[in-house]
């Protein structure tokens, strides 16, 4: 039920302990003395840093109870994927900021989905590496299951590229190098990730650290619980994301190994360098057929300044046959070292900062009491001055009273800014690129000449051929009629 009075708003804040008792008492006195629109009070609390815009909206919409999960208070929504929503949250007593992943409500009545979610939690908690998001806690509050991890202040690489365009080459190389180190750690513990993609790589703004995320589809190579394993892949039949999936994984997910993850890493690398997925457009099956038989548009065509050496690394990662790829993630990380040097004028944190919203939405310190007169009754013209005592100095001293609630936050988090990523190259590098291009051209001619006269099957024939092959495999793990994570977009 919508909160329709300031007193009701104070009640909700008290019930869910969203403010300290002394602050609440003071606020209650103010509300008693000078009745006001609950929206105006909420806006003032947001402006003063006592509530986030997300919290204020949820409370006004009558969803205050959903802001508290066990020992955690939700602060804002930071992501949404196949399994559920991800929030920035705060431990109530310890004050620690975390990321909290909650299983979606519509998945809760599905016992197998819950099992799968639990499994993600268990797998994640086995890993401890600077390039893997650290698992911290897991719990159930009523019907809701949630998983708590370290909060990475920054952005995922899908959002990063969407907002700022392709990454500078050496930053992209470094991101992939770091992610490979995390992947190797997972592999050493018998895990195949099976869903490596830009939105599952987080870039920390301050440190430039890249962290692998989301073991929702991971598989334990020597899994004792075979029955569960089969069931898990049957439920949603989700075994990867078609834009980034290795051909052999699409055919039979149980055959995926570290080299399949390395193929997905190659597609991710391609995306970071070009801003495009390797096989854009088309239906899921068509994309899968293209992964199997077609070469993507060459990186050098989309991004001429990428060196031949780096292009060769992308190609090797995206080789159709697993045996032609790097065989370990350590090998990949080693190959990238020479190209990951921070020679660009921009550092990794600077690049990450380019994708940050103008106002990062961070909470202002909440110490002390709610200042007197945090709000004022709305004047007849519908716009209210926000009391200066409550708000930090700001250029917009007025808050529209009739701000929409729901789709739009009471107070938005500010506009996003982004600049294209550029970097300069010294002459020797340009000469190197020219030489590499000539060599690349010659290699291409040799490859073309050594191909059979009949070229790759047209898209539809490829898709048809692939469905026949998949049907022949007909394993529970295969991608028949599934491809849930199919979108061209790289979210989730
Ligand atoms: N620990 C975290 N810190 C910061 N952002 C995160 C964190 N975990 C997830 N996110 C954001 O939420 C999105 C979805 O999270 P993910 O675990 O990949 O869920 P799904 O399984 O639904 O894809 C990510 O792409 C990222 O943008
Ligand atoms: Mg994800």
Exposure on the CB side of residue 214, measured as CA atoms within 13 A = 25
34 and 108 belong to one structural domain: no
Q: What is the pLDDT of residue 254?
A: 86
Boundaries of domain holding 455: 427-479
Q: What contacts 148, CB < 8 A, 6 or more positions away?
A: 72, 89, 98, 99, 100, 101, 135, 136, 137, 138, 139
181 and 316 belong to one structural domain: yes
The residue among 157, 69, 43 whose CA lies nearest residue 405 is 43
264 and 280 belong to one structural domain: yes
267 and 253 belong to one structural domain: yes
Domain boundary among 151, 170, 194: 151
220 and 302 belong to one structural domain: yes
Is residue 93, in this structure, part of any structural domain at all? yes
CATH number of the domain at 78, please.
3.30.200.20
Which residues pair with residue 99 across a beta bridge? 88, 149
297 and 194 belong to one structural domain: yes
Domain boundary among 95, 125, 151: 151
115 and 161 belong to one structural domain: no
Which residue has its alpha carbon closest to ligand 1 atom 5? Answer: 152
Q: What is the pLDDT of residue 426?
A: 57
461 and 342 belong to one structural domain: no
**pTM of structure:** 0.74
Rg (CA), the chain: 26
Is residue 361, in this structure, part of any structural domain at all? no
Which residue reads 């049957």 in tokens? 234
CATH number of the domain at 172, please.
1.10.510.10
Catalytic residue among 195, 214, 257, 261: 195
DSSP string computed for 391-412: S-S-S--EEETT---SSS-SS-
Q: What is the pLDDT of residue 485?
A: 47
63 and 76 belong to one structural domain: no
* CB-based contact 85:79 (threshold 8 Å): yes
CA of 211 to the centre of ligand 1 (A): 11
Is residue 308, in this structure, part of any structural domain at all? yes
Kindly list the protein residues whose Cβ atom lies closer than 6 A to any atom of ligand 1. Answer: 78-79, 81-84, 86, 99, 101, 133, 149-152, 156, 199-200, 202, 213-214, 216, 492
164 and 61 belong to one structural domain: no
The residue among 137, 155, 156 whose CA lies nearest residue 147 is 137
Q: Would you call 195 a catalytic residue per the annotation?
A: yes
DSSP structure class, residue 339: G
CA of 326 to the centre of ligand 2 (A): 24
Structural domains of the chain, count: 4
CA of 314 to the centre of ligand 2 (A): 22
Domain boundary among 337, 354, 371: 354
264 and 116 belong to one structural domain: no
User: pLDDT by residue for the chain (492 residues), tens digit each?
Assistant: 788 899 999 999 999 999 999 999 999 998 888 888 999 999 999 999 999 999 999 999 999 999 999 999 999 999 987 778 999 999 999 999 999 999 887 777 788 888 888 888 888 999 999 999 999 999 999 888 999 999 999 999 999 999 999 999 999 999 999 999 999 999 999 999 999 999 999 999 999 999 999 987 888 766 555 454 544 444 334 367 899 999 999 988 888 999 999 999 999 999 999 999 999 999 999 999 999 999 999 999 999 999 999 999 999 999 999 999 999 999 999 999 999 965 444 556 655 554 444 333 334 334 444 433 333 333 333 333 333 333 333 333 322 323 333 333 344 443 333 333 334 445 665 676 667 777 776 766 666 565 544 444 556 677 777 777 766 664 444 443 343 344 434 445
Pocket residue to mutate for ligand 1, from 156, 161, 264, 357, most atoms within 8 A of Cβ: 156
CA of 200 to the centre of ligand 1 (A): 7
101 and 38 belong to one structural domain: no
Residues, beta carbon < 5 Å, ion ligand 2: 81, 200, 214, 492
Q: What is the pLDDT of residue 449?
A: 60
């Amino acid at each position: 039920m919508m909160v329709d009075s300031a007193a009701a708003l104070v009640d909700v804040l008290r019930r869910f302990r969203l403010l300290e008792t002394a602050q609440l008492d003071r606020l209650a006195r103010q509300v008693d003395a000078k009745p006001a629109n609950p929206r105006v009070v909420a806006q003032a609390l947001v402006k003063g840093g006592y509530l986030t815009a997300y919290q204020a909206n949820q409370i006004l919409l009558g969803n205050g109870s959903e802001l508290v999960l066990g020992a955690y208070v939700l602060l804002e929504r930071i992501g949404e994927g196949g399994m559920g929503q991800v929030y920035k949250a705060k431990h109530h007593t310890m004050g620690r900021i975390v990321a909290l992943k909650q299983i979606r409500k519509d998945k809760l009545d599905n016992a197998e989905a819950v099992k799968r979610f639990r499994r993600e939690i268990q797998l994640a908690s086995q890993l401890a590496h600077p390039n893997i998001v650290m698992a911290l806690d897991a719990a159930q509050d009523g019907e809701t299951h949630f998983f708590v991890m370290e909060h990475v202040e920054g952005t995922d690489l899908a959002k990063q590229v969407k907002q700022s365009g392709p990454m500078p080459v050496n930053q992209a190389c470094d991101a992939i190098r770091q992610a490979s180190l995390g992947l190797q750690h997972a592999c050493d513990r018998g895990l195949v990730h099976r869903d490596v993609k830009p939105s599952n790589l987080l870039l920390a703004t301050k440190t430039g650290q890249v962290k692998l995320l989301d073991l929702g589809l991971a598989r334990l190579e020597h899994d004792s619980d075979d029955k569960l394993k089969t069931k898990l892949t049957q439920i949603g039949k989700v075994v990867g994301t078609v834009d980034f999936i290795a051909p052999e994984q699409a055919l039979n997910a149980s055959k995926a190994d570290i080299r399949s993850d390395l193929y997905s890493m190659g597609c991710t690398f391609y995306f970071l360098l070009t801003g495009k997925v390797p096989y854009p457009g088309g239906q899921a099956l068509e994309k899968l057929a293209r992964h199997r038989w077609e070469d993507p548009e060459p990186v050098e065509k989309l991004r001429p300044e990428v060196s031949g050496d780096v292009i060769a690394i992308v190609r090797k990662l995206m080789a159709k046959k697993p045996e032609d790829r790097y065989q370990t993630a350590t090998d990949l990380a080693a190959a990238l070292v020479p190209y990951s040097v921070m020679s660009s004028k921009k550092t990794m944190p600077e690049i990450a900062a380019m994708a940050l919203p103008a106002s990062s939405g961070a909470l202002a310190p909440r110490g002390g009491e709610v200042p007197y007169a945090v709000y004022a009754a709305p004047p007849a013209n519908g716009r209210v001055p926000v009391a200066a005592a409550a708000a930090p100095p700001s250029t917009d001293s007025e808050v529209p009273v009739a701000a929409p609630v729901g789709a739009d936050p009471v107070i938005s988090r500010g506009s996003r800014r982004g600049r294209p990523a550029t970097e300069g190259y010294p002459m020797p590098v340009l000469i190197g690129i020219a030489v590499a291009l000539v060599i690349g051209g010659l290699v291409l001619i040799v490859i073309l000449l050594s191909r059979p006269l009949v070229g790759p099957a047209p898209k539809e024939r490829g898709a048809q051929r692939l469905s026949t092959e998949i049907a022949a495999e007909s394993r529970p793990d295969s991608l028949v009629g599934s491809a849930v994570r199919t979108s061209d977009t790289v979210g989730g």
